[in-house]
Amino acid sequence: MKSTSLKISKVPDEGYNMDIFIDRKDTEYIYRQIYKHYKSLILNRKIKTGEKLPSKRKLAQDLDISINSVSNAYEQLLAEGYIYTKERKGYYVENLEKFINDNVADENQFPDYLKEKKPYKNNWLSLSHINTDPSLFPFDKWMKYQQKAIIEFKHNLAKIPHYKGAYVVRRTIAEMVAKTRGVICEPEQIIIGTGTQSLIQKLISTQPKNIKVAIEDPGYVRMFALLKKLNVNILPISLDSKGIDFKKIKAADPDFTILTPSHQFPTGIIMPISRRIEILNWISTRENQYIIEDDYDSEFKYGTDNIPSLQGLDKSNSIIYCGSFSKTLLPSFRISYMILPPKLLELYQSNYNDWNENNSLNLYALHYFIKNGDYTKHIKKLNQHYSKKREILITELQNRFKNNIQINDIPAGLHIVVSIFTKKTYNQILVDANKRKLEIYTIERFILSEQKEQKNNHEVKLVIGFASIDIKDIKKAVNELYTIIY
Amino acid sequence: MKSTSLKISKVPDEGYNMDIFIDRKDTEYIYRQIYKHYKSLILNRKIKTGEKLPSKRKLAQDLDISINSVSNAYEQLLAEGYIYTKERKGYYVENLEKFINDNVADENQFPDYLKEKKPYKNNWLSLSHINTDPSLFPFDKWMKYQQKAIIEFKHNLAKIPHYKGAYVVRRTIAEMVAKTRGVICEPEQIIIGTGTQSLIQKLISTQPKNIKVAIEDPGYVRMFALLKKLNVNILPISLDSKGIDFKKIKAADPDFTILTPSHQFPTGIIMPISRRIEILNWISTRENQYIIEDDYDSEFKYGTDNIPSLQGLDKSNSIIYCGSFSKTLLPSFRISYMILPPKLLELYQSNYNDWNENNSLNLYALHYFIKNGDYTKHIKKLNQHYSKKREILITELQNRFKNNIQINDIPAGLHIVVSIFTKKTYNQILVDANKRKLEIYTIERFILSEQKEQKNNHEVKLVIGFASIDIKDIKKAVNELYTIIY
């Protein structure tokens, strides 16, 4: 068939003079062409309100197309409200207000400064404490367990998930943390979420405004940023050799205190039992005040067993335990959990029982992964791997920096803190690291109090992660670091 | 080896009189038994602060165990801070405050009323609009694309994901919504999140307190619940035949207006172009005021094409477009997105650039699923399937209820609204439905204004979903409904 161009003549009740061009070679359906043609005529007020469109039969004849094409076009115009129909009479143009925007030039270009830059830090060497090593993750097992979940829990996958995460998954986590961390809880107390931050954010949002929240300083800078956005009074509390300064906590008397007792971030201090007892004795006497125990990397201990959690020692229902699979599995899986004492649980439930952020397939896979012993095996493998990396890193640092470095050798976690003798400032180091494409974090980044301490002029402290770097690149990275610092 | 029970005699510098029992048949490692023994003695103050522990060699000899076992036990006690060491002298008991909790009986049983009930509504017939049908979902394809993602994006899976979701996924979504919904945007403007609610919650949280937020009434009751928790003035706005009442919107002059123009929830009204123009003309003259277009089920249209989005018609950067994969894929995947105008994007970025809630593996699978045409195919298949179910449902309702039912036959979405002549109240219907295990929602649930309208005494309106019910069960469900209503 050839394409048809038609000047529709104006005849009573049969529409207007107007050019319509059907391109049969166009990939667009004919009905869409007719639809667009009339839509444009109507929006541009080339056909007036109340005017009748040509009958389907007439237009089909004139254009040499099927009535079906015209019918589909008219149905779409009708559904969108460009035309209305009078039974057995035909289709008429709707009464539309003049569309202001139609005459506005599209000057609202997307601004350049909001454009995203190329992937950040590609091909850099990384001594970051943030990312992990995907090479050891048993993706095959994970996929196998997803398959199993698709078979066993198919019906549940079609539902909006439980707001705390599926019960069976929480039960598995409860059993696991009882064994590995001494945490005592019911599956009901566990809230699974996409990150410790988002869980704590929701918890805090159930509290009255302007509550006092204490946080370790130096500490977790992202948590600090989060708290700044909430309506709370943030109290950064300094550390002594045993972790957070207990006298200062007692004096500040915060409603919530966020701690990392298993491995203080970033200093690495493992809070000794003496400080734990002080804190637990104190909190057990405080009504409606809580400790948030952020157990972000407790699974990594080289040479000793895990340190039992604070939560397991507490009998006053004052500890909120937070765990995460970001470092033991993958950070991109976004699986964390928070274990609430009954009082806070009740409050959480009444506020967030229609909130759903967990991918069920992911959680069911986790369930099987733990149940079948793969999680324990994987952590053991990771510990061996990271222990080796850690030793190599420490050896390389000592060989290269010799007497100019002091390594705070706490055999835990995925990073170490070192003091290096140098006259360079933190800023100079970061500028030079940037030039040489080495990702490295200084302790300065984690100092939360407004007035950052004056740097000792002959020393810098660095937080050096070893999780993401390849073993073969460690020596190179240490050499780069040396070049940057001297 | 036999088990060893030993009375350690007190000798100078060699520790205390105390019973220690090593059970070699125990599954617990010997070093853990020694560790636990001393931990308990120290916590219970059976050994005093500053006392020396037996030397490793002496204890190993006395118990007939390896020095290694003693060494491991002492290392763990040291790591947890129960003991300290003086170089070349030995191990000494730390100075611990008396632990109050240690004498507290564990009376804090988990309260019964917080226990979770058995899975809700198992084996019910469901005419709910909420859940979907998993039977058609191509899990095999999804798994294949996850596998592909593991190979292609492995390195990214070990990183904390981009706070908006990976760029490549957003680019794919941008291309798709341009084609299917006429939405015009850059990938930078897309924020991927775990639900429309959580995205809107974050967006609103970047706004000043007490802003006015208008919402359709009847409308999305979960959104209403969410807004109530935020510090906003909620304005429920009633509907007329074209959707939200424009005069009321104009009079209320809200900062944000949440609309479902493609298929009003729950009434099903498709907002005609005349109302769209009114709203767009109005919003284009308002500074810092926005429309949130919630396109929750626009993919389902029976008989017509998709209705183009409001966002695509807008040239004043006043529309926030929200889309979701909950109904087209699975609600348990938790993938939604929000497309922000530049001004709001900037605000969002400065508030949430360290927020991460997306499972990357899931998003990369989505990327391939769309890119390879599977998404379009799947929606087509769903439309055919749901269209069939919908027809059967309508036929069965008409056959059973005859002149007692009026069906608001808008060929779109995954639910219909019907009016049924009956003297039963909404409450009576829900009580009886509960008894007969039929999941059904009445319009009353979605009426948001404080003073619920008086029910017309001879009529009830029901929101009947057809996504989750099996075709073979439709007749049975309709019969149940009839029995419940009469």
- Which pLDDT tens digit goes with each residue over B99-151? 887 556 555 678 998 999 866 677 889 999 888 888 889 999 999 999 999 99
CA distance B111 to B134: 36
B114–A345 C-beta distance less than 8 A: yes
> Which of A81, A155, A189 lies closest to B134 in CB terms?
A155
User: What chain B residue is nearest to A159 in terms of C-alpha separation?
Assistant: B131
Phi, psi at B16, each rounded to 5°: -115, 160
The two tokens of residue A245 are: 């300064």
Q: Check residue A135 and give its pLDDT.
A: 84
Mean pLDDT of B197-218: 95
Work out the angle at residue B353's Cα, subtended by the Cα atoms of residues B347 and B359, and round it to the nearest 5 degrees: 125
> Which of A275, A356, A362 lies closest to B195 in CB terms?
A356
- Find which of B194, B270, B445 to mutate to test the A interface (most A CBs within 10 Å of its CB): B194
CA A224 to chain centre: 16
Set of chain B residues whose Cβ sits within 8 Å of the Cβ of A278 = 97
User: What chain A residue is nearest to B195 in terms of C-alpha separation?
Assistant: A357
What integer best gives the mean pLDDT of chain B? 90
Is the distance from CB of A452 to CB of A228 less than 8 angstroms? no
Provide the pairing of β-strand B438-439 with B415-421: unpaired
CA distance A363 to A372: 14
**H helices, E strands: number in chain B:** 16, 18
The two tokens of residue B456 are: 């017309």
CA A77 to chain centre: 42
> Which of B76, B277, B332 lies closest to A96 in CB terms?
B277
Set of chain A residues whose Cβ sits within 8 Å of the Cβ of B202 = none
A161–B334 C-beta distance less than 8 A: yes
Set of chain B residues whose Cβ sits within 8 Å of the Cβ of A132 = 158
CA distance A307 to A270: 8
Set of chain B residues whose Cβ sits within 8 Å of the Cβ of A44 = none
Q: How many contacts, defined by CB atoms under 8 Å, are there between A and B? A: 280
Set of chain B residues whose Cβ sits within 8 Å of the Cβ of A99 = 277, 280-281, 313
Set of chain A residues whose Cβ sits within 8 Å of the Cβ of B145 = none
Helix, strand and coil in chain A, % to nearest 5 = 45, 15, 40
User: What chain A residue is nearest to B106 in terms of C-alpha separation?
Assistant: A315
* Residue of A317, A385, A365 whose CA lies nearest to A345: A317
Q: Check residue A199 and give its pLDDT.
A: 96
Phi, psi at A126, each rounded to 5°: -125, 120
Place of tokens 């050891």: A136
- Find which of A80, A150, A229, A439 to mutate to test the B interface (most B CBs within 10 Å of its CB): A80
Tens of pLDDT, residue by residue over B408-418, are 889 999 999 99
Peptide bond preceding B12 in cis form (omega within 30 of 0): no
CA distance B81 to A68: 83
- Find which of A83, A98, A361, A367 to mutate to test the B interface (most B CBs within 10 Å of its CB): A361
Q: Check residue B13 and give its pLDDT.
A: 44
Q: Check residue A196 and give its pLDDT.
A: 95
Q: Check residue B18 and give its pLDDT.
A: 60
A75–B332 C-beta distance less than 8 A: no
A468–B158 C-beta distance less than 8 A: yes
**Residue A195, Cβ neighbours under 10 Å: how many?**
23
Tens of pLDDT, residue by residue over B457-486, are 789 999 999 998 999 999 999 999 999 999
Q: Shortest Cα distance from A196 to chain B (angstroms)?
A: 10
Set of chain A residues whose Cβ sits within 8 Å of the Cβ of B197 = 354-355
Q: Shortest Cα distance from A77 to chain B (angstroms)?
A: 9
Which amino acid, B329? L
Q: Shortest Cα distance from A486 to chain B (angstroms)?
A: 30
B357–A357 C-beta distance less than 8 A: yes
Does pLDDT of B362 surpass 90? Answer: yes
Phi, psi at B188, each rounded to 5°: -60, -25
Q: What is the dihedral of CA B372, B375, B376, B381, to 10 degrees?
A: 130
Q: Check residue A1 and give its pLDDT.
A: 43
**Positive or negative torsion for Cα A259, A260, A262, A266:** negative
**Positive or negative torsion for Cα B376, B378, B379, B383:** positive
Work out the angle at residue A238's Cα, subtended by the Cα atoms of residues A218 and A391, and round it to the nearest 5 degrees: 45
Q: Shortest Cα distance from B69 to chain A (angstroms)?
A: 12
ipTM above 0.85, yes or no: yes
> Which of B82, B270, B315 lies closest to A101 in CB terms?
B315
Q: What is the dihedral of CA A80, A83, A87, A88, to 10 degrees?
A: -120
B304–A273 C-beta distance less than 8 A: no
Is the distance from CB of B149 to CB of B361 less than 8 angstroms? yes
Tens of pLDDT, residue by residue over B424-470, are 999 999 999 999 999 999 999 999 987 655 556 789 999 999 998 99
- Helix or strand (DSSP H, E) at B362: helix B360-371
- Helix or strand (DSSP H, E) at B205: helix B196-205
> Which of A160, A273, A316 lies closest to B80 in CB terms?
A273
User: What chain B residue is nearest to A359 in terms of C-alpha separation?
Assistant: B333
Set of chain A residues whose Cβ sits within 8 Å of the Cβ of B159 = 130-131, 331-332
A360–B359 C-beta distance less than 8 A: no
Q: What is the dihedral of CA B472, B478, B483, B486, to 10 degrees?
A: -170
- pTM confidence score: 0.91
Set of chain B residues whose Cβ sits within 8 Å of the Cβ of A116 = 167, 187-188
The two tokens of residue A363 are: 């959680």
pLDDT tens track of chain A, all 486 residues? 445 555 444 444 444 436 777 888 878 889 999 999 999 999 888 899 999 999 999 999 988 999 999 999 999 999 999 999 998 899 999 999 888 875 565 556 789 999 998 666 778 899 998 888 888 899 999 999 999 999 999 989 988 999 999 999 999 999 999 999 999 999 999 999 999 999 999 999 999 989 999 999 999 998 999 999 888 999 999 999 999 999 999 999 999 999 999 999 999 999 999 999 999 999 999 999 999 999 999 999 998 888 899 999 998 999 999 999 999 999 999 999 999 999 999 999 999 998 899 999 999 999 999 999 999 999 999 999 999 999 999 999 999 999 999 998 899 999 999 999 999 999 999 999 999 999 999 999 999 987 655 556 789 999 999 999 999 999 999 999 999 999
CA distance A303 to A401: 25
Q: Check residue B108 and give its pLDDT.
A: 63
Phi, psi at B404, each rounded to 5°: -85, 0
CA distance B176 to B337: 13
Set of chain A residues whose Cβ sits within 8 Å of the Cβ of B351 = 229
Query: Interhelix angle for B67-80 vs B56-63, to 10°?
Result: 130
Residue A278's Cβ-side half-sphere holds a number of Cα atoms within 13 Å equal to: 18
B360–A159 C-beta distance less than 8 A: no
User: What chain B residue is nearest to A269 in terms of C-alpha separation?
Assistant: B79
Set of chain A residues whose Cβ sits within 8 Å of the Cβ of B357 = 194-195, 198, 334, 357
CA distance B330 to B28: 45
Helix, strand and coil in chain B, % to nearest 5 = 45, 15, 40
- Helix or strand (DSSP H, E) at B171: helix B167-181
Does pLDDT of B11 surpass 80? Answer: no
> Which of A81, A143, A349 lies closest to B273 in CB terms?
A81
- Find which of B140, B220, B315, B347 to mutate to test the A interface (most A CBs within 10 Å of its CB): B315
Set of chain B residues whose Cβ sits within 8 Å of the Cβ of A304 = 75-76, 79
CA distance A377 to B224: 46
Secondary structure (DSSP) of A415-464: EEEEEEE-S--HHHHHHHHHHTTEE-EEGGGG--SSSPPPPPTTEEEEEE
Q: Shortest Cα distance from A422 to chain B (angstroms)?
A: 31
